[in-house]
Structure 1
Amino acid sequence: MTTEWAKNKKKTGNKILKIFLFIGLLFIGMIGYGVYWAFFDMNRLPTGDYLTEETSPDGTYTLKTYLANGGATTSYSVRGELVFNNRNGKTKNIYWNDREETANIKWIDDDTVVINGHRLNVPKEKFDFRNL
């Protein structure tokens, strides 16, 4: 009888440990996502003032750039927004760099663009100075 009771106690202890581990991992995951959302999500960038735009050679994409003023304590930043012309104007932020006030856009081919010296294969790649 004692060994059966010990086995049940061990099983219960294992279940409680697994529950605490699951809750701990869930909590750590939520904290990690919260930090990403608050500090690194490109969808939360400031809109800024319109600078310029260039359309890809085949007309599939238009890259619009905006100048974001960070306020008195930070420098200006340039945000690049890719517009999908064939998808009713759907947009995606693909470029974010600080300490810039102008945007030099050059399309190399239908899917490759160079923005201020940073080469990107659109729509898959993006440049964000915070992730260097």
Structure 2
Amino acid sequence: MTVNLKEKKARRKKIWRILLVASTLVLGVIGYAIYWFFFDMNRLPTGEYLTEATSPDGTYTVKAYVNSPSLSVDAVRGELIFNKKNGKTKNIYWNYRESRATIEWLDHQTVVINGHTLHVPNDRYDFRREE
């Protein structure tokens, strides 16, 4: 009888571990899906070209595009182009309620887009992540 009780406890423990691992995986997939659908800057709409500016040393170019959806407000997307890395691109700016873009380089790694200062290539501005 005691062997039977130990086997039941061991089986329950194994079932709980499996449920814990499975629920953790499901929650992880759901969390990543929410990030991918709503916050991933690589999924931003392309928009219409506005303007561009190249860094003083020619390493980077920032191009700005406006996205004008029919039922929503305008939004500006800034794309960083790595001129010395075969034109590799990265979205670094996304702000809504804007239809124009002013790009100014302060030095070879600091750019100001519509009043938001970014240190390229690592900084980003995304209105969805601001408080």
Q: Same fold (TM over 0.5)?
A: yes
Q: Which residue of 1 aligns with 2:118?
A: 120
Residue equivalent to 1:58: 57
**What root-mean-square deviation, in Å, do the aligned CA atoms of Structure 1 and Structure 2 show?**
0.9
TM-superposed CA distance for 1:79, in Å, is 0.3
Give, in angstroms, the shift of residue 5 of structure 1. 2.4
- Residue 130 of structure 1: which of 124, 128, 131 is its match? 128
- Aligned residue number for residue 2 of structure 2: 3
**What SS does the corresponding residue of 1:59 show, helix, strand or coil?**
coil
Q: Please list every run of 5 or more consecutive structure 2 residues that lacks an aligned counterpart in the other structure.
A: none
**Does 2:83 correspond to 1:85?**
yes
Cα deviation code 1:30-74 (max 9, x no counterpart): 111111111111111111111010011111100000011121x21
Q: Which amino acid aligns with 1:75?
A: V
Q: Tell me how far apart the structure 2 counterparts of residues 127 and 3 of structure 1 sit (CA, whole Å).
A: 63
Q: Distance in 2 between matches of 1:87 and 1:112?
A: 19
Distance in 1, matches of 2:69 and 2:117, equals 25
CA distance in 2, matches of 1:88, 1:36: 29
Quote the Cα distance in structure 1 between the aligned partners of 2:76 and 2:46.
10
Deviation string for 1:50-108 (max 9, x for gaps)?
1010011111100000011121x211110000000111000000000000011111111
1:131 to partner: Cα distance:
1.1
In 1, Cα distance between the equivalents of 2:112 and 2:125?
A: 11
Q: Percent identity?
A: 58
TM-score by length of 2: 0.95
Give secondary structure in 2 for the equivalent of 1:74.
coil
